[in-house]
Amino acid sequence: MVNSIKLATLPATGGQAFGEANYVVTVGYGTPKKNQTVIFDTGSDVSWVQCKPCVITCFRQREPLFDPSESSSYRNISCGAPECAALTSRGCSSSTCLYGVTYGDNSTTVGFLARETLTLTPSDVVENFVFGCGQDNRGLFGTTAGLLGLGRGILSLVSQTDNYFGGLFSYCLPPPSSSSRTGHLTLGVTKATKNISYTPLNLNLETFYYLDLVGISVGGLLLPINASVFSNAGTIIDSGTVITRLPSSAYTALRSAFKRGMSAYKSTPSETSLLDTCYDFSGLDMITVPTIVFHFNGGTDMEVDVSGTLYGISGSRFCLAFAGNIDDTDLGIIGNVQQRNLEVVYDTRAGRVGFGPGPCA
């Protein structure tokens, strides 16, 4: 199935050129292969691209739509196949399996479940890859072609290639201001094995990568947050969510400490409903930002890069790149902004996630 040496590295970039705040990679679908630029998402399993004939609706994408009729390796999957049974949301049309996915922001995709040849790199080719051929796609995908699912479920790319890449993958997400603006998504043995500190995954729930967050520090001081706040609904790490969401009481404590550390700077009204703590740095050549550190079970710390602390809104205006959930029982999410410039390593067989220092090489 895979002609591989158990290591495949794809360039990863911010999706700004595609009107998208998530991160993207370009892969090839079909025979002959057609390049498709997709969001890579550790918070979902099903990989999909928009497909002709777009029976219901497709959003506008930069690259030509994938046309399965032009591929010699495309095959629909039947309703009785185990891959169809593995779907959370499924249907059947003329004995062909239909998939459906609804994301946290209410974006959706519906289409045919199929097998196709997926080209990761010229020497890393996955045959009979199970994916979604999207015929009704709506929501916030920018002008990308779809999504690459890197979750823990059996239909994810990670699970489908476990025999070849050992359930290992890693990435480094470059900040928008970096000179090269190129990071990586690596399947298989990680590029950076040194200085990686691991924390165990909570393996009780499928798809998501649950971490045991136990505390947060701002400016070297541990915030007065009861650890039980983080365990109410749990915390996941998700490359497909932009801004980190914290339990409301944890966010309130973080915001208060951050404001104290930023008291020398001019605050400004927010231009977005999600981010509420904003500053205007006009005329300043340098700013000093309090360091934010996530503390995980096992003594593992994740220090947020300065590029992941403030989110640029417009010109010289930046906001604290965190948001509070409505309730402490809502799911906590560590988003991709907070993961910038870090080496994030997923070892699914060992049930752990690790963090190492950047910058992206």
Name the residues annotated as catalytic.
41, 238
Amino acid at site 88? T
CB 134 within 8 A of CB 141: no
d(CA 256, CA 287): 19
Phi, psi for 165 (deg, rounded to 5): -110, 5
Closest CA to 346 of 152, 214, 194: 152
Q: Compute the distance between CA of residue 346 and CA of residue 361 in angstroms, rounded to an integer.
A: 18
The 3-state DSSP class for residue 338 equals coil
CA dihedral 148, 154, 155, 158 (to 10 degrees): 30
Q: Is 212 helix (H, G, I), strand (E, B) or coil?
A: coil
CB 297 within 8 A of CB 214: yes
For residue 238, give the nearest of 40, 42, 15 by alpha carbon. Answer: 42
